[in-house]
């Protein structure tokens, strides 16, 4: 999973390695709350995590970079520190992330952006059955942060801007070790940015999406724990789907996912169950990026999924060459993430 983060971050930065660019650095303070998505976590619902972030970002102004998402966008690094409000049980988190921040709307002073990213996190306190049994959020000191954040930015001078952000953060180990409840903590942030240079932003024509139905085939692979043990077995997904753009950046679609999960035990004692689930999907279509949110329904409910008839899958794809795509996905039951996987796809 660490290699997937490196691939994803490297992919983002390879897009911004050449050409004229606007560069900036920033700092931000965040404050929010913890979503207690299980009864044994309710005791932490009154905690108020605080975060401190430092970022460096670059926006390439060349047309080929504009065409990557039909928008100008920042790519960068973020270093973040989070204090979860209980250093003895929950501890603190130190994270290095890669970020992607497209500009959705702008004028001379204001802009509305959507920042998102993935990073590797070091946690100072994790679950231990003897010394820290209450922390069911984290079980691995090395885990992963996923975040998405609408950002409202105001430029008050040639070099300086301020911003307000609404952040949704998720930290977990992707199901690589138990227990792995994961932590979801929304936060409000306020910060400032210093712009090293200024370049005029050209006016490029927006590529209109094809209004025809598009079809895709996709596969995903990961490793999951067997029950409550740390014995990992592969889980492979095969997906067929279709989508159609309904606006410049939105699309709707659906399909079916078939999962062969060798972490699930059959009645015979052997491992490996097949799960099938049709889904509907919404797609943010940003040039070479496709970020889809899928709601899937289990046609038959495995015993291990008891209490869950539906699951969500969040998939970020990047079109590499022709119609070949590479990406990552996160599967979740409500607020509880189950695992991350690596995805390969072909669209036709």
Q: Which helix (H) or strand (E) holds 213?
A: none
Residue 323 has pLDDT above 60, yes or no: yes
Please tell me the total number of residues recorded for the chain in this structure: 348
- CATH number listed for the domain at residues 2-195: 2.40.160.20
Domain with CATH 2.40.128 in the chain: 214-347
Pick from 187, 188, 192, 285: which is nearest to 244 by CA? 285
CA-based end-to-end distance of the chain: 29
As its CATH architecture, domain 214-347 has Beta Barrel (2.40)
Domain with CATH 2.40.160.20 in the chain: 2-195
Q: Which helix (H) or strand (E) holds 20?
A: none
Give the Cα separation of 105 and 116 in Å (integer): 16
Residue 218 main-chain phi, psi, to 5 deg: -155, 150
Give the Cα separation of 106 and 115 in Å (integer): 15
- pLDDT tens by residue, 203-222: 888 777 677 899 999 999 99
The mean-pLDDT minimum among 42-56, 100-114, 225-239, 276-290 falls in 225-239
The structure's pTM equals 0.78
**The pLDDT value given to residue 8:** 52
Q: Which helix (H) or strand (E) holds 124?
A: none
As beta bridge partners, residue 167 has 187
In this structure, are residues 325 and 318 in contact, taking their beta carbons and an 8 Å threshold? yes
Burial 285-318 (b: 16+ CB within 10 A, else e): bbbebbbbebebebeeebeebeeeeebbbbbbbb
Give CA separation, 291 vs 90, 184, 193, in Å.
31, 20, 27
Question: Can you list the alpha helix ranges (DSSP code H) found in 39-184?
Answer: 63-69
- pLDDT tens by residue, 99-157: 999 998 999 899 999 999 989 999 999 999 999 998 888 889 999 999 999 999 999 99
CA dihedral 43, 44, 47, 50 (to 10 degrees): 170
Q: Which two tokens stand for residue 227?
A: 């029950």
């Amino acid at each position: 999973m660490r290699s997937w983060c490196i691939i994803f971050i490297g992919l983002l930065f390879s897009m911004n390695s050449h050409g004229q660019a606007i560069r900036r650095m920033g700092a931000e303070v965040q404050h929010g709350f913890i979503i207690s998505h299980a009864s044994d976590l309710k005791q932490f619902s009154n905690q108020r995590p605080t975060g401190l972030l430092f970022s460096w970002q670059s926006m390439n102004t060349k047309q080929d970079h504009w065409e990557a998402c039909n928008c100008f966008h920042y790519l960068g690094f973020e270093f973040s520190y989070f204090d979860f409000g209980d250093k003895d049980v929950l501890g603190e988190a130190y994270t290095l992330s890669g970020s992607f921040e497209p500009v959705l709307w702008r004028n001379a002073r204001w802009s509305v952006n959507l920042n998102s990213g993935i990073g590797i996190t070091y946690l100072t306190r994790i679950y231990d059955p003897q010394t820290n049994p209450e922390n069911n959020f984290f079980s691995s000191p090395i885990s992963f942060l996923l975040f998405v954040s609408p950002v409202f930015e105001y430029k008050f001078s040639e070099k300086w801007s301020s911003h307000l952000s609404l952040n949704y953060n998720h930290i977990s180990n992707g199901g690589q070790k138990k227990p792995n409840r994961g932590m979801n903590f929304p936060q409000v942030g306020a910060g400032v940015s210093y712009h090293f240079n200024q370049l005029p932003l050209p006016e490029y024509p927006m590529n209109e999406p094809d209004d025809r139905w598009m079809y895709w085939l996709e596969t995903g692979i990961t490793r999951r724990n067997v029950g409550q043990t740390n014995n990992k077995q592969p889980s492979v997904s095969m997906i067929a789907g279709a989508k159609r753009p309904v606006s410049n950046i939105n699309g709707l679609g659906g399909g079916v996912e078939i999962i062969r999960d060798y972490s699930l035990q059959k009645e015979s004692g052997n491992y490996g169950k097949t799960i099938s689930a049709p889904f509907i999907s919404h797609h943010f279509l940003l040039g070479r990026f496709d970020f889809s949110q899928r709601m899937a329904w289990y046609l038959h409910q495995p015993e291990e999924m008891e209490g869950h008839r539906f699951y969500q899958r969040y998939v970020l794809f990047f079109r590499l060459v022709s119609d070949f795509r590479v990406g990552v996905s996160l599967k979740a039951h409500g607020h509880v993430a189950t695992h991350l996987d690596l995805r390969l796809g072909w669209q036709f």
